[in-house]
Structure 1
């Protein structure tokens, strides 16, 4: 007979993921141990292994959870009734808002994907491609005459601005997430000389 899940199984799982992401982000994929993760989560190693049979499984679920939330934010926030430029701005804002409080998850995604078995990497790549396609489709609407071979480099250049924001951005600082969403979108579409005046005044 199959063992039934405890009522708080998902709550405990989320808490374990959060603790694990913190340890992995600080220690790195190789140095972080399941014992450290269990201690950070306040659970026994036996309970940790009940949820995740290996460190790879834990890393994979951290990344998959992070990217699945990002897909939901992007696809849920996409509004085809908006003009293309406004639509792209909304997508950029959705990504930055999804990154709020998720720096550890994001670091694990950036540094941990390559450490996973190929089947796991393929699943992560499929989710990432889904996000990239959503952005590429809107960028193509903004600039219909963009050469096909440039669509991916332009799209990934935008993600370059978004994916490394955790390195310097601080909530409560002089630039808000909304400000930066406007800035990143304007830089992509207009260049440095085309920034909105509202962003260039103090």
Structure 2
């Protein structure tokens, strides 16, 4: 990825209202992700994206006026999906023991990034370069609140004085580890040893 930051994203030109339009937008966004992953931000152009998506540049511009608008939409959807999947995993823990909960959470984190670690690393870099801290903070706050609830339900066996603070420390530590690994060693997400070490880190902090 180049060090040059993308411009502040322009809003989408219009929203799709029919299934066919939704399919076109989905194809354009997936093509954007593929081109970003293989070419980097600077070499990504709307022409390359349109060609990969199998649509005309004119069709692309019906929905996205600029490359930055495309990238902004793609990154926001990515973090919405990550947030939704993590919150769903946390909500399904029920009365699982602390040990079992840690294993489920670690598996969910790794599964989120294993299919496209390079792509997800690019999204993280672009988010920071696009003044996307508000989105990142919103995502973090949602996950921290859900983890705090999980920890509060297990407060006594874990011996936690302040589950909310513990959730903040844990989530921010793991988030930093995940982002750094996506940037520097994305292949680690396919390595079972990485998953074991991540679980060990969380176990050592909580148990």
TM over 0.5: yes
Following the alignment from structure 2 to structure 1, what is the Cα–Cα distance between the partners of residues 79 and 107? 16
Show CA shifts across 1:80-107 (max 9, x none): 3112332232122222222232335412
Show CA shifts across 1:161-182 (max 9, x none): 33325612364xxx44xx6444
1:157 pairs with 2:157: no
Q: Which stretch has the larger CA shift, 20-29 or 66-75?
A: 20-29
Following the alignment from structure 1 to structure 2, what is the Cα–Cα distance between the partners of residues 88 and 133? 16
The 1:170/1:184 distance shift into structure 2, 3 A limit, reads: closer
Q: Which stretch has the larger CA shift, 123-132 or 44-53?
A: 123-132
Q: CA RMSD in A?
A: 3.3
Following the alignment from structure 1 to structure 2, what is the Cα–Cα distance between the partners of residues 134 and 153? 14
Contact 2:35/2:48 (CA < 8 Å) preserved in 1? yes
Structure 1 residue 20 displacement after superposition: 0.5
Q: Which stretch has the larger CA shift, 10-19 or 135-144?
A: 135-144
Give the alignment's TM-score, normalised by structure 2: 0.70
Structure 1 residue 155 displacement after superposition: 2.5
1:63 pairs with 2:75: yes
| Aligned residue pair count | 184
Show CA shifts across 1:96-125 (max 9, x none): 222232335412321111333x5x652443
Unaligned runs of 5+ in 2: 1-13
Show CA shifts across 1:47-91 (max 9, x none): 111222222221122112211211221121121311233223212
Q: Which residue is 2:84 aligned to?
A: 72
Contact 1:91/1:135 (CA < 8 Å) preserved in 2? no
Q: Which residue is 1:167 aligned to?
A: 186
Contact 2:113/2:120 (CA < 8 Å) preserved in 1? yes
Show CA shifts across 1:143-201 (max 9, x none): 51469767534422222333325612364xxx44xx6444312223228xx9xxxxxxx
Contact 1:63/1:124 (CA < 8 Å) preserved in 2? no
Give the alignment's TM-score, normalised by structure 1: 0.72
- Secondary structure (helix, strand or coil) at the match of 1:8 reads helix
1:48 alignment partner, one of 60, 83, 94: 60
Q: Which residue is 1:200 aligned to?
A: none
1:127 pairs with 2:139: yes
